[in-house]
Structure 1
Amino acid sequence: MILILKNGATDDQIDHVVTRVEAMGLKSHLSRGTFRTIVGLIGDESTLNQEVLNAIPGVSQVIPVLPPYKLASREAHPESSVIDVSGVKIGGGNLGMIAGPCSVEDRDRMFRIAESVCESGANIFRGGAYKPRTSPYAFQGLGEAGLKLLREVGDKFGIPVVTEITDPRNVELVAEYADMLQVGARNMQNFVLLTEVGKTQRPVLLKRGMSATIADLLMSAEYVLSQGNPDVVLCERGIKSFDPSTRNLFDVAAVPVVQGLTHLPIIVDPSHATGRPDLIPACSLAGLAAGADGVHIEVHDCPEEAKSDGPQALLPEQYKDIAHRMQLMADLLGKTISPRPGATSRSLNPPPTEALA
């Protein structure tokens, strides 16, 4: 950490700064310039309170050398992390191919979509049992019935499932059924939710908020890591822009930027980033070319009947085409798409038919 002292700081103030710093257990390195005096701090910065340092008379600015997201930073963990989602690896050259509908819907449709994306090479199936919607009158998801159906689909096709968690009170329930917990863009800075998710043993898919900086995203990941859960996968899903041409601005540059700052894997979500099926193939390949550790795509067999986000979903045959092209891209980059694990012996009773109506 570096302390920049105010222009014209007196010798007494400089001596006081040095004394205070050394009283905190750190060594100081004094550098006097023509216009500014700088005090470098040497030692364990984790014990320092930046606000306390800012309050010392004569201090103009406190500049951390290490990032505030200590557990997520590459300084703390130089090697890229590999996250295991019930047998599917993401990171370190392993690609996660997440596909499925926005919402968990009726049983037959879920089975059709799952069968199709599995045949195309997807290794994690997605579907929302709880849906945070802008309108309180929009479809909010099937709740626990949807979780049971999602688990049934996962077991039938031997594929891990990921679903969004929206409420801290439901964390244990969702973790009972899902292999991976998704924290959506709207909840990226719901710190109570992040803390509860961090207490689980489930891998977490953390999406970047619509107006969040990269530093904001990494600090949110720090909340999960600080609770003892090391399995976090970041997701670039677009940020708000002034241009209405796409649903959001697909910040593909965020992928290499994030990888330079953290050991955590990062995937891209061109479905939410663009909101346009015609742009999803190009943006999927662009994400992989930029170094992404996977791609998250929404797929529906009849988008006009989808209960949520139908206009941005690919048809199964469209997903099959782009999945093939992503496999070619993976081969070109020397990366591996983890195969989905075999079917499990676990079984659950299907949810009541009326609950899925």
Structure 2
Amino acid sequence: MIVVIKAGTPEVEISRVCDELSTWGLTPEKIVGKHKVVVGLVGETAELDPYRIEEISPFIESVLRVEQPFKRASREYRHNEPSEVMIPTPNGDVYIGEHHPIVVTAGPCSVENEEMIVATALHAKKMGAKFLRGGAYKPRTSPYSFQGHGESALSLLAAAREASGLGIITEVMDTPDIDKIAEVADVLQIGARNMQNFSLLKQIGKQTKPVLLKRGMAATIDDWLMAAEYIMASGNAQVILCERGIRTFDSKYTRNVLDISSIPVLRRLTHLPIMIDPSHGTGWAHFVPKMALAAIAAGTDSLMIEVHPNPKKALSDGPQSLTFEQFGELMDQVKHMAAVVGRGEREPAMA
């Protein structure tokens, strides 16, 4: 349930309304929009009469029920206003959201050694990426495949961050690793295989850094948004949704089926920012550029692209990784497409 406050309402009156609603056993969450303040009510609201809430204050414009099972993640919850995630990096604050330029994350599937990860970070930065992705801990289908270097790889990511100034995105697989990964990463990733690891979602929602939530390979959109709800219900509203391909009946020609249609669907359902990963979505480097551009045309806020200095020698996911040269070519196309849809880099304001 949301309470829409009239424009121009004094802050003291908003606080009074929230205090009153708290005495009803509800948790009011104030959401400040461009034009109005909305108060989201969390708790047992099914039996509440909206007219009873309206009587609390003449400054209440309306009281609306959130119909979706995912409450905090619902676009209704913010009165149809999109949210944004602000991420501090050594190169400055980066915003991911519907009203900001396209943000690109690039890097290898796994952190292999310091020379490789630093070289990749420097090239990604040169080409215009804002974040470096790289797995320290890697969930793999086979127990015999390379699982990542674990904790030792975190120091390599830190070295790449220092050398390039890029923000770091890396995956958390287990709750005991959250704190040590959060010391290095600017964004903590929940991978597709852990999307419904509810104990992990609850714990990662208790820390303060942004969370990148990848869609499970067999998850419906409702499943995915309810997973985001677990994180947000634990206190962290800084969630970015990442579509990375789903499993269907046809897997002969691509690794997964990249669900581009999820972008406009999510725009109707949720206020959360959207990222698209065409590398995992297709599984083949030659498909990645076309799907990246299609995602921008469909309205994504950001892209995650796998890049490796020598994909043929990559320890994991080499076939879907772009070379440095291919990534440079793609970034030129991304900049043109972003400009076409009005999501290009903004010129700095004149002094």
Question: Where on the TM-score scale, by shorter chain, does this alignment land: which range?
Answer: 0.7 to 0.9
Stretch of structure 1 that moved more, 82-91 or 280-289:
82-91
- TM-score normalized by the length of structure 1: 0.77
Q: Give the aligned partner of residue 73 of structure 1.
A: 74
**Cα deviation digits, residues 120-139 of structure 1 (max 9, x gap):** 11111000000011111211
Which residue matches 1:153? Answer: 160
TM-superposed CA distance for 1:329, in Å, is: 1.0
Q: Is the partner of 1:255 in helix, strand or coil?
A: helix
Amino acid at match of 2:318: G
Task: Say whether 1:163 aligns with 2:170.
Answer: yes
1:290 counterpart (283, 286, 298): 298
- Tell me the equivalent position of 1:91: 97
Matching residue within 323, 332, 339 for 1:331: 339
* Equivalence for 2:256: 248
Please give the alpha-carbon distance, in whole angstroms, between the structure 1 residues aligned to 2:255 and 2:158. Answer: 30
**Distance between the aligned counterparts of 1:189 and 1:136, measured in 2?**
21
Question: Structure 2 CA distance, aligned partners of 1:181 and 1:275?
Answer: 23
**CA separation of 1:194/1:280 partners in 2, compared to 1, >3 Å: closer, same or farther?**
same
Task: Pick closer, same or farther for the CA change 1:49–1:139 going to 2, 3 Å.
Answer: farther
Residues 1-357 of structure 1 correspond to what in structure 2 (within 5 A)?
47=44, 66-77=67-78, 78-86=80-88, 87-94=93-100, 95-243=102-250, 244-337=252-345
Same amino acid, percent of matched pairs: 48
Distance in 1, Cα, partners of 2:307 & 2:134? 10
User: Aligned partner of 2:231: which letter?
Assistant: V
Q: 1:201 to 1:337 in 2, by over 3 A?
A: farther
Aligned residues: 284
The TM-score normalised by the length of structure 2 is 0.78
Does the CA-based 8 Å contact 2:114-2:159 persist in structure 1? no
Partner deviation per Cα, 1:52-91 (whole Å, 9 max, x = no partner): xxxxxxxxxxxx9711110000111121111012211110
Instruction: Give the counterpart letter for 1:90 in structure 2.
Output: I
SS in 1 for 2:158: helix
Q: In structure 2, the residue corresponding to 1:177 is in which secondary structure?
A: coil
In 2, the alpha carbon distance for the partners of 1:301 and 1:337 equals: 26
Q: Which range is displaced more, 170-179 or 91-100?
A: 91-100
SS at match of 1:278: helix
Structure 2 counterpart SS, 1:112 = helix
Runs of 4+ in 1 over 4 A off after TM superposition: none
- Contact residue 93 and residue 334 of structure 1 kept, 8 A: no
Deviation at 1:48, TM superposition (A): 5.9
CA-based RMSD: 1.9
Cα gap change, 1:221 to 1:322, in 2 (>3 Å): same
Unaligned stretches of 5+ in structure 1? 2-43, 51-63, 340-357
Contact preservation (8 Å) 1:97, 1:337: no
AA at the equivalent of 1:83: V
Q: Deviations over 1:19-68 (max 9, x none)?
A: xxxxxxxxxxxxxxxxxxxxxxxxx8952679xxxxxxxxxxxxx97111
- Structure 2 residue matching 1:75: 3-state secondary structure: helix
How many Å separate the matches in 2 of 1:136 and 1:337?
42
Contact 1:267 1:292 in 2 (8 A): yes
In 1, the alpha carbon distance for the partners of 2:239 and 2:114 equals: 30
- Which of structures 1 and 2 has the bigger CA Rg? 1
